[in-house]
Structure 1
Amino acid sequence: MNISFSICKQAQPFVSFPGGVNKGSLNFHHHKDKVVFVMGATGTGKSRLSIELATHFPAEIINSDKIQVYKGLDIVTNKVTAEECRGIPHHILGIVDPNDDFTTTDFRHHASHAIEAILERDKVPIIAGGSNSFIESLVNDDAYFLSKYDCCFLWVDVSLPILQSFISQRVDRMVEAGLVDEVRGIFDPNADYRQGIRRAIAVPEMDGFLRAEGNVNAETLARLLEEAIDEIKGNTCKLAVRQLQKIHRLRDFWGWNLHRIDATEVFTMCGEEANEAWERIVMGPSTMIVGRFLYEGTSLETISPTASSTIITRTIPISPMAAATH
């Protein structure tokens, strides 16, 4: 497997937390080292939240999206740009050869090394991405991980009807940004869409359109493109549903203690109004949760961003596995 490790230029993070806590007050070696996870369905703002948290705490980010691990297709896979990284180092992002298969075992191996390296630099590992099978494998299947680390799970949630509308608009923006040319650049009529980066949503969906280029009239080609884009939107929405189901399973069957951040209101707004809502509803509570986890070792049972807000951020109680159903 061919892997490179140069992703984003490193900058010095800073800590901003009520009470004047600074970087030196972090005690990473008290009992267990600490790892933060940012989870959620595709399009819910996981990358934004993880980067903003890493500008408030001394942190680095580990990607847990199984398609974003590959080199290439930056538009299709919605990779963060160097500018969006804001100087925060990212690990396991765009490092794997597009034709290789990157398994859960590979992820556990690379994530474990990245976590240890980040902790050695007295930074917080923030694991962010939508591939919950990667996260489940790391947390549930790695005995060393369980024995060494305490975990804080942030779940950014958006109601499905609102999220599906956002996904449709995001696909349109991806097409405008060059999605078709990007997929055309790796098109191979003999390719296996079950392997490597070609599993990414948008690649197999474009197959019929790309095969027809040069063989049909403009009207037929336009129809095929429209059908491909609709299929991309539909399959991305189905992915969001599967990801949400997986998160519910981690909570209900495995009893994971999840801090749910309901960001639905943010996605009903635009521009500066949306940014202000993000700070109040998502970033503010998330900063408080992570701050207490890192500095005080306590969890927050209930947080309301504002007294009048209907958005609730809460810790999901652990349910005994013996009483759980699959």
Structure 2
Amino acid sequence: MRFSMVMCKPTAQPLLDAAGLVRRSEMDFLIPWRQKEKVVLILGATGTGKSRLSIDIASRFPVEIVNSDKIQAHKGLDVVTNKITEVEQCGIPHHLLGTIPPDADFTASDFCDSALLAIESIRARGNTPVIVGGSNSYIEALITDSDYRFQSKYECCFLWVDTAMPVLHSFVSKRVDKMVERGMVEEARNFFDPDAEYSRGIWRAIGVPELDFFFRTEKFLDLQARARLLEEAIEEIKNNTCKLAYRQLEKIHRLRNLKGWNLHRMDARPS
């Protein structure tokens, strides 16, 4: 994937559109031309390499990264949720990553409030915010909710990391296998709670409910049965991750085709 800030060059925005219908605050009317500050937003299905692209951008430009993944916002289960590691972050500041208590709800409204504060602090340091994550409903709320007036304050550069579904399925399968190698099962076992509520917080993460039956029964099984049950759970994790990727792609297509978002598509396959 190749990225250039030419994609996101600043533009001056007129006070009014051709019909004179763009609403501005009273102070805005005192300024005939206002150049909006830039915000980069990276969209894409899970497994396409959004975090990798964000770090690639950060290695070339003065940016800070704002996480928009609703599950990765929670503390804990770093392998299960596939959070970018401290080493992979390369010293680039990351906001809203692993900061929310595991059992807490983190709504779209909560995200918008927290993201706006992070963006303002990043801009105050002279850096460009890069918002990256797979929770497209959170991105949509931030961009389109009239209460936040986001589009009147910032010019959005949308980067869409994409690839064909068969390729994405292969990406997902290999990624889950690597997560298992990194200790995903052990991490989930240490987190396991037979009384957990899987509709709250980080408990909704793919990889947690799928391993529930295995953890409940493994001590009663012989080695062969245990291995077979674990293999089935891992396959379910892969299938559910692919289903998530498909839903995310549907959402992105809707944002592009119905909302009219100008998305710069970038091929996720290595060049």
Indicate the TM-score class for this superposition, using the shorter chain for normalisation. Answer: 0.7 to 0.9
- Give, in whole Å, the separation in 1 of the partners of 2:268 and 2:55: 17
**1:187 is aligned to 2:192:** yes
- After TM superposition, the structure 1 = structure 2 runs for residues 169-208 of structure 1, keeping only pairs within 5 Å, are 169-208=174-213
Letter in 1 for 2:202: I
**1:162 is aligned to 2:185:** no
- After TM superposition, the structure 1 = structure 2 runs for residues 132-143 of structure 1, keeping only pairs within 5 Å, are 132-141=136-145, 142-143=147-148
SS at match of 1:201: coil
SS at match of 1:101: coil
SS at match of 1:61: strand
- Give, in whole Å, the separation in 2 of the partners of 1:176 and 1:52: 25
- Contact 1:67/1:77 (8 A) holds in 2: yes
From 252, 258, 265, the equivalent of 1:253 is 258
Question: What is the TM-score normalised by the length of structure 1?
Answer: 0.72
* Residue aligning to 1:7: none
- Give, in whole Å, the separation in 1 of the partners of 2:158 and 2:122: 18
* Residue aligning to 2:244: 239
Letter in 2 for 1:107: F
- After TM superposition, the structure 1 = structure 2 runs for residues 1-326 of structure 1, keeping only pairs within 5 Å, are 31-141=35-145, 142-264=147-269, 266=270, 277=271
Deviation at 1:30, TM superposition (A): 5.1
SS at match of 1:117: helix
Deviation at 1:213, TM superposition (A): 2.0
Deviations 1:15-52 (A, max 9, x none): x979xxxxxx9x9x952111000110011110011111
Highest RCO, 1 vs 2 (Cα 8 Å, sep ≥ 6): 2
Letter in 2 for 1:207: D
- Contact 2:48/2:171 (8 A) holds in 1: no
* Residue aligning to 1:322: none
- Contact 2:188/2:208 (8 A) holds in 1: yes
- Give, in whole Å, the separation in 2 of the partners of 1:17 and 1:68: 27
- Return 5+ residue gaps in structure 2 as ranges: 13-32
- Give, in whole Å, the separation in 2 of the partners of 1:263 and 1:175: 23
- Give, in whole Å, the separation in 2 of the partners of 1:17 and 1:250: 22
* Residue aligning to 2:18: none
- Give, in whole Å, the separation in 1 of the partners of 2:67 and 2:137: 13
Deviations 1:269-316 (A, max 9, x none): xxxxxxxx2xxxxxxxxxxxxxxxxxxxxxxxxxxxxxxxxxxxxxxx
Question: What is the TM-score normalised by the length of structure 2?
Answer: 0.86
Q: Runs ≥4 in structure 1, deviation > 2 angstroms?
A: none
Aligned residues: 245
- Contact 1:17/1:56 (8 A) holds in 2: no
Deviations 1:194-233 (A, max 9, x none): 1110100000000110000212222221111011000000
- Give, in whole Å, the separation in 1 of the partners of 2:36 and 2:134: 25
- Return 5+ residue gaps in structure 1 as ranges: 1-15, 19-24, 267-276, 278-326
Query: Bigger shift: 110-119 or 167-176?
Result: 167-176
Letter in 1 for 2:47: G
SS at match of 1:56: coil
Deviation at 1:263, TM superposition (A): 2.5
Letter in 1 for 2:69: D
